[in-house]
Amino acid sequence: MVEYEYDSVRFGEVWRRVMNQAEETPSVLQSKEVPPPSDTQDILACINDTAFAIFLYRQMTMQGRYAATFRRLAEEKEQYLRRLQAEYFLLTGDTAAIAAQRPQKSMSRLEWLRMRCFQETEAVTTCTAAAERTAVKERYQLFRDLADNARDSAVALRGIIQDIIR
Protein backbone atom coordinates (compact mmCIF):
# COMPACT_ATOMS: atom_id res chain seq x y z
CA MET A 1 0.00 0.00 0.00
CA VAL A 2 1.35 3.42 -0.98
CA GLU A 3 1.20 6.15 1.64
CA TYR A 4 0.83 9.76 0.55
CA GLU A 5 1.95 12.78 2.47
CA TYR A 6 -0.75 15.40 3.09
CA ASP A 7 0.11 18.86 1.81
CA SER A 8 -2.47 21.43 2.93
CA VAL A 9 -1.33 24.09 0.44
CA ARG A 10 -1.52 21.78 -2.55
CA PHE A 11 -4.78 20.31 -1.30
CA GLY A 12 -6.36 23.78 -1.29
CA GLU A 13 -5.16 24.43 -4.84
CA VAL A 14 -6.44 21.09 -6.09
CA TRP A 15 -9.74 21.49 -4.25
CA ARG A 16 -10.37 24.89 -5.86
CA ARG A 17 -9.70 23.40 -9.30
CA VAL A 18 -11.95 20.43 -8.63
CA MET A 19 -14.72 22.62 -7.31
CA ASN A 20 -14.16 25.07 -10.17
CA GLN A 21 -13.70 27.99 -7.77
CA ALA A 22 -11.86 31.19 -8.41
CA GLU A 23 -8.47 31.71 -6.81
CA GLU A 24 -9.73 34.46 -4.55
CA THR A 25 -12.48 34.40 -1.97
CA PRO A 26 -15.12 37.08 -2.55
CA SER A 27 -14.36 40.15 -0.45
CA VAL A 28 -17.65 39.77 1.43
CA LEU A 29 -16.45 36.43 2.82
CA GLN A 30 -12.91 37.53 3.63
CA SER A 31 -12.23 38.12 7.29
CA LYS A 32 -9.66 40.62 8.44
CA GLU A 33 -8.92 38.47 11.47
CA VAL A 34 -8.44 34.74 11.08
CA PRO A 35 -8.79 33.23 14.53
CA PRO A 36 -6.27 30.61 15.53
CA PRO A 37 -7.89 27.21 15.95
CA SER A 38 -7.12 27.27 19.65
CA ASP A 39 -9.40 30.28 20.26
CA THR A 40 -12.37 28.49 18.75
CA GLN A 41 -11.56 25.26 20.59
CA ASP A 42 -11.00 27.09 23.87
CA ILE A 43 -14.30 28.95 23.59
CA LEU A 44 -16.20 25.77 22.71
CA ALA A 45 -14.67 23.95 25.69
CA CYS A 46 -15.66 26.85 27.96
CA ILE A 47 -19.19 26.83 26.54
CA ASN A 48 -19.61 23.13 27.33
CA ASP A 49 -18.14 23.45 30.82
CA THR A 50 -20.29 26.49 31.60
CA ALA A 51 -23.45 24.78 30.33
CA PHE A 52 -22.70 21.78 32.54
CA ALA A 53 -22.16 24.07 35.55
CA ILE A 54 -25.49 25.79 34.91
CA PHE A 55 -27.25 22.42 34.73
CA LEU A 56 -25.67 21.27 37.99
CA TYR A 57 -26.25 24.53 39.86
CA ARG A 58 -29.89 24.64 38.72
CA GLN A 59 -30.34 21.09 40.02
CA MET A 60 -28.87 22.15 43.35
CA THR A 61 -31.24 25.13 43.69
CA MET A 62 -34.03 22.63 44.22
CA GLN A 63 -32.41 21.25 47.35
CA GLY A 64 -33.00 23.80 50.05
CA ARG A 65 -30.36 25.25 52.33
CA TYR A 66 -27.89 26.60 49.76
CA ALA A 67 -30.46 27.36 47.05
CA ALA A 68 -29.68 31.09 46.96
CA THR A 69 -25.96 30.45 46.50
CA PHE A 70 -26.54 27.93 43.72
CA ARG A 71 -29.03 30.28 42.05
CA ARG A 72 -26.43 33.06 42.11
CA LEU A 73 -23.75 30.75 40.70
CA ALA A 74 -26.10 29.59 37.91
CA GLU A 75 -27.04 33.18 37.01
CA GLU A 76 -23.39 34.22 36.85
CA LYS A 77 -22.59 31.25 34.61
CA GLU A 78 -25.55 32.09 32.35
CA GLN A 79 -24.12 35.58 31.78
CA TYR A 80 -20.77 34.07 30.81
CA LEU A 81 -22.46 31.51 28.59
CA ARG A 82 -24.13 34.31 26.61
CA ARG A 83 -20.78 36.10 26.21
CA LEU A 84 -19.08 32.87 25.13
CA GLN A 85 -21.80 32.03 22.62
CA ALA A 86 -21.61 35.52 21.13
CA GLU A 87 -17.82 35.28 20.82
CA TYR A 88 -18.12 31.83 19.25
CA PHE A 89 -20.59 33.20 16.70
CA LEU A 90 -18.26 36.10 15.90
CA LEU A 91 -15.40 33.66 15.34
CA THR A 92 -17.22 31.02 13.33
CA GLY A 93 -20.43 32.53 12.01
CA ASP A 94 -22.25 29.60 13.59
CA THR A 95 -23.91 28.83 16.89
CA ALA A 96 -22.24 26.41 19.26
CA ALA A 97 -23.75 23.00 19.78
CA ILE A 98 -23.59 22.28 23.49
CA ALA A 99 -22.49 18.76 24.36
CA ALA A 100 -24.99 16.87 26.49
CA GLN A 101 -23.24 16.22 29.79
CA ARG A 102 -25.01 14.91 32.80
CA PRO A 103 -23.50 13.82 36.10
CA GLN A 104 -23.94 10.24 37.17
CA LYS A 105 -27.29 9.84 38.89
CA SER A 106 -25.76 7.60 41.53
CA MET A 107 -23.63 10.46 42.87
CA SER A 108 -24.55 12.03 46.18
CA ARG A 109 -24.98 15.77 46.54
CA LEU A 110 -21.62 16.00 48.28
CA GLU A 111 -19.94 14.04 45.46
CA TRP A 112 -21.48 16.39 42.88
CA LEU A 113 -20.14 19.37 44.82
CA ARG A 114 -16.69 17.82 45.07
CA MET A 115 -16.63 17.04 41.35
CA ARG A 116 -17.73 20.56 40.44
CA CYS A 117 -15.23 22.15 42.83
CA PHE A 118 -12.42 20.29 41.04
CA GLN A 119 -13.85 21.32 37.66
CA GLU A 120 -14.00 24.97 38.71
CA THR A 121 -10.41 24.80 39.95
CA GLU A 122 -9.33 23.21 36.67
CA ALA A 123 -11.26 25.90 34.76
CA VAL A 124 -9.11 28.58 36.41
CA THR A 125 -5.99 27.01 34.90
CA THR A 126 -7.63 26.32 31.53
CA CYS A 127 -9.06 29.82 31.13
CA THR A 128 -5.83 31.48 32.24
CA ALA A 129 -3.91 29.45 29.64
CA ALA A 130 -6.50 30.37 26.97
CA ALA A 131 -6.12 34.05 27.86
CA GLU A 132 -2.37 33.81 27.43
CA ARG A 133 -2.74 32.08 24.02
CA THR A 134 -5.14 34.52 22.40
CA ALA A 135 -3.91 37.59 20.58
CA VAL A 136 -7.27 39.39 20.78
CA LYS A 137 -7.77 41.83 23.65
CA GLU A 138 -11.52 41.15 24.03
CA ARG A 139 -11.01 37.38 24.17
CA TYR A 140 -8.15 37.81 26.62
CA GLN A 141 -10.48 39.74 28.92
CA LEU A 142 -13.29 37.18 28.49
CA PHE A 143 -10.98 34.31 29.44
CA ARG A 144 -9.58 36.27 32.41
CA ASP A 145 -13.13 37.04 33.59
CA LEU A 146 -14.03 33.36 33.27
CA ALA A 147 -10.95 32.37 35.29
CA ASP A 148 -11.88 34.86 38.02
CA ASN A 149 -15.45 33.58 38.08
CA ALA A 150 -14.29 29.96 38.26
CA ARG A 151 -12.00 30.86 41.17
CA ASP A 152 -14.88 32.55 43.00
CA SER A 153 -17.18 29.59 42.29
CA ALA A 154 -14.59 27.13 43.62
CA VAL A 155 -14.26 29.18 46.82
CA ALA A 156 -18.05 29.20 47.25
CA LEU A 157 -18.26 25.44 46.69
CA ARG A 158 -15.43 24.80 49.16
CA GLY A 159 -17.34 26.82 51.74
CA ILE A 160 -20.51 24.81 51.19
CA ILE A 161 -18.60 21.51 51.36
CA GLN A 162 -16.89 22.59 54.61
CA ASP A 163 -20.26 23.59 56.06
CA ILE A 164 -21.86 20.25 55.08
CA ILE A 165 -19.12 18.00 56.42
CA ARG A 166 -18.52 19.66 59.79
pLDDT digits 0-9 by tens, 109-141: 888 899 999 999 999 999 999 999 999 999 999
pLDDT at 107: 78
Mean pLDDT of the chain: 83
Above pLDDT 90, what percent of the chain?
57
pLDDT at 63: 72
What are the sequence ranges of the domains in the chain?
34-165
- Indicate whether 7 pLDDT > 70: no
Which is more confidently placed, 63 or 121?
121
Closest Cα to residue 157, out of 103, 119, 106? 119
Above pLDDT 70, what percent of the chain?
74
pLDDT at 103: 61
- Indicate whether 83 pLDDT > 60: yes
> CA–CA separation, 28 vs 34, rounded Å?
14
- Collect all residues with Cβ–Cβ distance below 8 Å to 146 and sequence separation of at least 6: 46, 50, 80, 84, 123, 127
- Indicate whether 12 pLDDT > 70: no
pLDDT at 109: 83
Taking CA atoms, 41 is separated from 37, 135, 139, 158, 160, in Å, by 6, 15, 13, 29, 32
Instruction: Classify domain 34-165 at the CATH topology level.
Output: Ferritin (1.20.1260)
DSSP structure string for 113-153: HHHHHHHHHHHHHHHHHHHHH---HHHHHHHHHHHHHHHHH
